[in-house]
Chains A and B, each alone.
Chain A
Amino acid sequence: MNAPFPPRAKKRLKIATATLGGCFGCHMSLLDMDERFLERAKLVDFDRSPLTDIKHCGPCDIGLIEGAVCNAENVHVLREFRAHCRTLVAVGACAINGGLPAQRNPLDLGGLMRKVYCDRVDETAQIPDDPELPLMLDKVYPIHEIVRIDYLIPGCPPSADALWKFLTDLIEGRTPRLDYAHFRFD
């Protein structure tokens, strides 16, 4: 009488990934899945990502964001991802709490820029002001302080196994969870 629901046909999912203020370490971890990545690639298509070189994100099922929000361009990219991704995932320490880029936060930004670009033996020493360069933000922000985030994968970077487990859970429709060995902040 209580017949189970018939299984739905598997649909190909679209995934987009981006690095804001980060080191691409989390993307390296993604590639670290090795042949499992190819297996996963049979089920998903990649939209905007450093792996595809597509410049703008279209409608996607899952968006993965690595890195913290450091400048105006990061804000644009992040908002574009939030607008187009049904599920947005913060990947790694920088995206979750600011991480390494946020270590500049207790310091004055102007003083920092002068220290880096002006305090050197160079006749043209000045803070770069090309209009194409995105403006720095006053502070570095974790991405959840700019847009709503659905899931987070901690780690610096999260291991390939952690990413695999998390994405597999997500793609197969389970609530993602990490076991103790893969729940790492370092």
Chain B
Amino acid sequence: MSEILAQLMLDGHKIAFEPGQTILQAALAAGVYIPHLCAHPEFEPHGSCKLCTVVVNGRNGSACTIKAMPGQDVLSDTPELNLRRRTLLQMLFAEGNHFCPGCEKSGNCQLQALAYDLEMFDPHFAQFFPAREADGTHPEAFLDFNRCIMCELCVRASRDVDGKNVFALAGRGRDTHIIVNSPSGKLGDSTFSIHDKAGQVCPVGAILPKEVGFVRPIGERLYDHDTIAEVALREDATWREGEK
């Protein structure tokens, strides 16, 4: 009996994978970028942002949660899927207060970098302009809920890596928001430290380290010259090297 090769088709190209990898992991390892936001190599996949949605043998699914299997025919970089990804980004931009020119994270922000990559010219939808609070009580970090996209990376990092359970999601639907595990509900009264994994992992400007603001000026930042695809492939290669 001949052995079944661990290969799948991605956008018409044959790529090899290691058994156990998800489609997203296999694609990144093969040097093909699939847009994603809530997925992070160090955490269990979450499958909530839906940006990595691909078509696998005719069915839609999240590339970050579907295991790579032989015989899969995966479509990712198609006009239809990129249009839907752009719409998802537009919804994220419209439902928060994402004012890039006034944000310290600008240029290092994954949400913004994805919008650049997918050529999102405008939020398209009517802006919600929600009244959200900011929390400056912590000496090392500033918490600005205006920019939160509920990806739960800080929740996962604090729970799974730091073992602190500082963050959690509360509420439902458009009232969903991040809450802080402390008697006052303020970050300053929690056990959070900026050196925690949770302090490093925010893809947007919701958890900002204090006192570094514009040390690296706008125009010289991560995504100012490199696209998110280039950065993600580079970071994934570094991470896989570290795993070995």
Contacts and interface: CB of A to CB of B under 8 A. Distances in A.
Interface residues of B, number: 27
B180 interface: no
Contact of B127 (A145, A183, A185): A145
A128 interface: no
Interface string B98-114: 11111100110000100
Contact of A96 (B121, B225, B227): B121
Interface stretch (A3-11, A48-56, A72-80, A99-107): A99-107
Contacts, number: 71
Interface in B210-237: 218, 225, 227
Nearest to A102: B129
B123 A186 contact: no
B129 A99 contact: no
Contacts of B103: 186
Given A180-B116, A185-B101, A139 B129 contact: yes
A16 B32 CA distance: 44
A98 interface: yes
Interface of B: 93, 97-103, 106-107, 112, 115-116, 119, 121-124, 126-127, 129-132, 218, 225, 227
Interface of A: 90, 93, 96-100, 102-103, 105-106, 139, 141-142, 144-145, 149, 151-154, 156, 177-178, 180-181, 183-186
